[in-house]
Structure 1
Amino acid sequence: MTSKLRALNYSFNNLQEKNMTFEQVFERIVQFMKKDRNGNYRLMFGTDSQVHANDTKFVTGIVIQREGKGAWACIRKVVIPRQINSLQEKISLETSLTEEVVSMFTDERKEKLINIVLPHVYKGATFTIEGHIDIGSRRQNKTRFLVREMVSRIESMGIEPKIKPESFVASAYANRYTK
């Protein structure tokens, strides 16, 4: 792997900032949560992809939402230099890229986030972590045969899996940047 590709893989962007490191992303999340320690927080991850003429673009979204009071978000792009037309391969890669970003949130980092709201849980503060998968279980969804496997993978990481229609970080936020 070239250093350019490695740097691209771990570069995060949003509308305000470009080329953030993971450490910078984590610090933005901490600062966002410290603004209201009594908030109801959802830390959400999800990946979507789009096949283009010469490559397949994968975008992983990271969103920290303070329910009813805004959010902070960023994305990470990974481009595979070939068309990936197998639905199973695409969904598996999307899930792998989500897992990779989730794994950057070590137990120590998760504990730091939990400790922001922990003293305030009796006042209603909450914190959850979700993995959004761009698949659905309804009959019309071509991905329904993958639900059990992908949900199990996200659950094995200790986070709550969400599928369509609740997987908006993958199916809406990340999707917007795959075009």
Structure 2
Amino acid sequence: MRFQNLTDSKLSPDDVCRRVLRFMAQDPQASYHFMIGTDSQVHRGYTKFVTGLIIHRLGKGAWACYRTVIVPREIESVKEKLSMETALSQEVASIFSGDIIRRMEDLLLPHILQGASLTLYIDIDAGTEPKVNVTAKYVQEMVDRVEAMGKYAPRVKPHACAASAYANRHTKRPARMALG
């Protein structure tokens, strides 16, 4: 599993963990949102899934990276795409659970009285308004899946910025057809 951003490519999960912790260590008294979300785009002959991972220091910047997965077919079913997006977000979240979350919390714990906090989100690229979002009828199912994980809180549009803004931006460009 490899991640990248505008300055780095081929980041391993360990590389991402180090960068997240380094970013947080710069201001351990701050409030942080750790967000993971996936969006997809159907291209001719394949579907491109991009999972964004963002550590947001509220009001003071962010560090982000993303992972791309190519499925060598055009996925047209809205439910299948949304289900796969949610599963890919959960896969990345499971890698960044356990020890990394404990290390993030341990970094902030001495600064709780100064306002330090950490909230974990999985952003679901779906909205609840049936007239606007064809995904609305699947929202509760995806929310239930994320809630079943425990630590991460689910968010949907318009609050699902890791999926609907950051990851979305990277789905539009055609992919090199390396699978994975």
Alignment partner, residue 139 of structure 1: 130
Hey, what's the Cα distance between the residues in 2 that align with 1:106 and 1:65?
Answer: 17
Q: Is 1:148 aligned with 2:140?
A: yes
The residue correspondences of 1:1-179 to structure 2 (distance < 5 A) are 10-140=1-131, 141-158=133-150, 159-179=152-172
Identity %: 46
Q: Over aligned residues, Cα RMSD in angstroms?
A: 0.6
Residue aligned with 1:133, SS: strand
Q: What is the deviation of 1:85?
A: 0.2
Q: Unpaired segments of 5 or more residues in structure 2?
A: 173-180
Q: Aligned AA for 2:88?
A: L
Q: What is the deviation of 1:156?
A: 1.2
Query: How big is each residue's C-alpha offset from its partner over 1:84-112, in whole Å with a ceiling of 9 and x where there is no partner?
Result: 00000000000000000000013122111
Query: How big is each residue's C-alpha offset from its partner over 1:87-144, in whole Å with a ceiling of 9 and x where there is no partner?
Result: 0000000000000000001312211100111111111111010000000111221111
Residue aligned with 2:106, SS: helix
Q: Aligned AA for 2:143?
A: V
Hey, what's the Cα distance between the residues in 2 that align with 1:15 and 1:108?
Answer: 27
TM-score of the superposed pair, with normalisation by structure 1: 0.94
Q: Aligned AA for 2:66?
A: I
Hey, what's the Cα distance between the residues in 2 that align with 1:88 and 1:22?
Answer: 28
Worse overlay, 77-86 or 115-124: 115-124
Q: Unpaired segments of 5 or more residues in structure 1?
A: 1-9
TM-score of the superposed pair, with normalisation by structure 2: 0.93
Q: Aligned AA for 2:109?
A: L
Residue aligned with 2:87, SS: helix
Which stretches of structure 1, 4 residues or more, deviate above 3 A after TM superposition?
none
Q: Aligned AA for 1:155?
A: E
Alpha-carbon contact 2:130-2:137 (below 8 Å) kept: no
> What is the count of residue pairs matched by the alignment?
170
Residue aligned with 1:106, SS: coil
Alpha-carbon contact 2:41-2:171 (below 8 Å) kept: yes
Q: Aligned AA for 2:20?
A: I
Q: Aligned AA for 2:154?
A: P
Q: What is the deviation of 1:51?
A: 0.3
